[in-house]
A = this chain, B = another copy of it.
Amino acid sequence: SSLSADTTQLPTTVVKNMPDALAGIHMNFLLRSSLEIPNGSMQSALKQNEARFEVLGTIVPNLDFRVRWRLNRSQAPKSLDNSPGSIDIASVNYAFGKEKKWSIQVGKQAAFVGSWEFEKNPTFEYQYSEFVNFQANIFMMGMKLGYQINENHAAYLQLHNTYNEDFTQAHAIAGYSTNGNKPSKSPMGVYTTWRGKMFDNKFQTFWSYDISKFASGQWNHSIALGNKLVVDRFEVYLDLQTANLALDHPNIASPSVNNYRLRMNSGLKPVFANDLNYKSAILRVDYEFVDKWFITGKGIFEAASQTKNNSVIGRNFRENIGLLAGIEYQPIASQQMKMFGYYYHNKVNYKGEVKMANTRTNLNLFAVGILYFINVF
């Protein structure tokens, strides 16, 4: 099925007589372009939504490589990891042990966080949650140890950098005071992840727990429960996440807290907010209703809270809500090329004390375009 376009499977779209030298080697382009028409005074324009290049493969058994980069992102390296935002993946994976059940992947790689939204190939994901866009450090330097328990279940430990920028640079980019916080000597973390398949592969789990540090002595904890169901012409995922961040270095809800604090006391300096909790629920449904025609729907609900020490900020003070409905047409069965149209509604609401210092945002977007996951060879 064209639905199973996840990034962990090597594509085998058209059967061709592949020469020995290229067997196991793949070159891909990930393209998506669309005409976007937003509401209000925002400008309508043709947008380059995705443009990525990928080479991956297996030259000898048990040793894989994968390199993927975005063509529309600066290649200037970030301060902590010496890697630019343009590089998604540049890693080596080595399987070892009897029966090759163990593997170690080293290099720039995808965070192994329980998110089917993120796991989906970006060619096919029109609009992302703030969880994927900002909260999780989705492409990062890591070392991932894997163990294939049996045919259906695998467990992973992934050592990773918490963020791509170092403590000082992250504050400089945001224009924030460090507020007495100090950089962690080792701004890293560990994901513990379970990938499972059940009920004849119809149901798949992708569950993770992460512990990490950004500032000295301040621990972040997060749980992500990704669940996917694939039945016939129907595919649905539901991702549930909760994270307690000692310091809000992703800077999603901090601006609204700063607006509130500055309104109370205009002499304060803006800072990364402390002790935020982020929750998110993301649901996507895809259905091939007749041959070559698909409908897709997506719902995003995310909320930020600050409740520690009876904070006046309170529960769910900032909500991010997204709703998408779209239709897709795939004229050629062997090629993951789709013409699409979708409508997307997004709003950010504020509640409680924070509400008076922040204005809700509202986006209504209509888009029509073409996507193509090009498996060159």
Instruction: Give A residues with C-beta under 8 Å from B.
Output: 13-14, 16-22, 25, 27, 29, 31, 33, 35, 41, 43-49, 51, 53, 55, 57, 59-60, 62-63, 65, 67, 69-77, 80-84, 86-87, 90-92, 94, 96, 104, 106-108, 140-143, 159-161, 166-167, 183-188, 331-332, 334-335, 337, 369-370, 372, 374-377
CA distance A17 to B75 in the complex (A): 36
In the bound complex, residues from chain B placing their C-beta under 8 Å from that of A13 are 59
- B77 and A76 form a contact (CB under 8 A): no
- A18 and B17 form a contact (CB under 8 A): no
Identical chains bound together, number: 3
- B82 and A335 form a contact (CB under 8 A): no
- Determine chain A's interface SS by DSSP, over half rule: strand
Q: Which of B141, B332, B334, B377 contacts A25 (CB 8 A)?
A: B377
Given A43-B184, A188-B45, answer yes or no on A57-B376 (Cβ-Cβ < 8 Å).
yes
Given A19-B19, A337-B92, answer yes or no on A46-B374 (Cβ-Cβ < 8 Å).
no
Given A51-B67, A106-B370, answer yes or no on A75-B74 (Cβ-Cβ < 8 Å).
yes
Q: How far is the CB of A104 from chain B (nearest CB, A)?
A: 8
Q: Which of B29, B96, B141, B185 contacts A33 (CB 8 A)?
A: B141
- B376 and A63 form a contact (CB under 8 A): no
Query: What are 13 A-B interface contacts by the 8 Å CB criterion?
Result: A17-B21, A27-B55, A33-B106, A43-B166, A45-B80, A45-B161, A45-B186, A46-B141, A48-B82, A51-B90, A63-B332, A73-B75, A106-B369
- A82 and B72 form a contact (CB under 8 A): yes
In the bound complex, residues from chain B placing their C-beta under 8 Å from that of A43 are 80, 166-167, 183-187
CA distance A83 to B84 in the complex (A): 17
Q: Which of B106, B161, B335 contacts A59 (CB 8 A)?
A: B335
- B45 and A83 form a contact (CB under 8 A): no
- B370 and A92 form a contact (CB under 8 A): yes
- A376 and B55 form a contact (CB under 8 A): yes
- B332 and A142 form a contact (CB under 8 A): no
In the bound complex, residues from chain B placing their C-beta under 8 Å from that of A69 are 71
- A372 and B82 form a contact (CB under 8 A): no
